[in-house]
Amino acid sequence: MPSRPPAPGRRGYIIPIGGAEDKLLARAILRKYAELCGLEHARIAVLPTASMDPETPDRYRKVFAEVGVGEVVVCNPRTRHETHDAAKVLKGCTGVFLTGGDQLRLSTILGGTDVARELRKMNAHGVHVAGTSAGAAFLSEHMICFGKEGGTPFAGQATLAAGLGLTNRLVIDQHFRQRDRMGRLLAALAYNPFAIGIGLDEDTAAFIAPNDTFEVVGSGGITLVDAACIEHSAMAETPEGRPVEMLGMRLHVLVEGSKFDLHHRKATPAPPRPMPE
């Protein structure tokens, strides 16, 4: 279960990003995140544990500095042994940003460690935690760690593992439209219809506020699947590798400015946009 905030409305934002966010032009997602964290008064920790690219920390250090963040530090444990000292880097941060890579590196290196405990406590006390790509998948309690592509769910398509647990309301998938991942998100929801599935396109984020409503920011869309009222799921009796029958789910496609209330499971359309001349 997510850590309990000390007072209602005190929790920080949770921001899953679908990967490949704009780092060069408008930088809408990263700029909005930096503003939430305090811009020149912000101290953001970049956590690149999921990535094997040695340039990842400097890439985010540079882009956050360019959008006006006052201080950027790197918390980069590469083994479970390193997590105790790494957790000290997080002290005093107003935001933490988990980069992309392999989400299994995040769960196997950070799961149950001082870093994971500190992240949960920090978010409960108002620190904003964002993750892109693998970092986005890791934010929730139930994490899709891998699975095959395709639009139709089939038995065994999605493999789940424990995530960081900042929220238990969501199952998150990333690079959604670009990598044809509807089937594996549906398969994950067939295992756990309590959760709401959100498929994040690249350069698209859900800014989840302390009151469990979120707004879409970015150039793509979010495919939201609500399985709470599912009428039938054949997952339990479907042989491995065969398509799964699922009936009665609700589906929304949300774009920039759209909102969704996770508590009441209600979508609100984006404000009308002026037509181009």
Measured in whole angstroms, how far is the alpha carbon of residue 28 from the centre of its chain? 17
Strand partners of residue 71 = 43
pLDDT one digit per residue (tens) for the chain, 277 residues: 577 787 776 899 999 999 999 999 999 999 999 999 999 999 999 999 999 999 999 999 999 999 999 999 999 999 999 999 999 999 999 999 999 999 999 999 999 999 999 999 999 999 999 999 999 999 999 999 999 999 999 999 999 999 999 999 999 999 999 999 999 999 999 988 999 999 999 999 999 999 999 999 999 999 999 999 999 999 999 999 999 999 999 999 999 999 999 999 999 999 998 877 7
Residues assigned a catalytic role: 133, 175, 202
- Catalogue all structural domains in the chain, each as residue range(s) with its CATH number: 14-262 (3.40.50.880)
pLDDT at 126: 97
The answer to whether residues 259 and 242 touch, using CB atoms and an 8 Å cutoff, is no
Encode 219-265 in three state secondary structure.
Answer: CCCEEEEECCCCCEECHHHCCCCCECCEECCEEEEECCCCEEECCCC
Amino acid found at 195: A
The DSSP-derived string for 49-115 is TT---TTHHHHHHHHHHHTT-SEEEE----SGGGHHHHHGGGTT-SEEEE--S-HHHHHHHHTTSHH
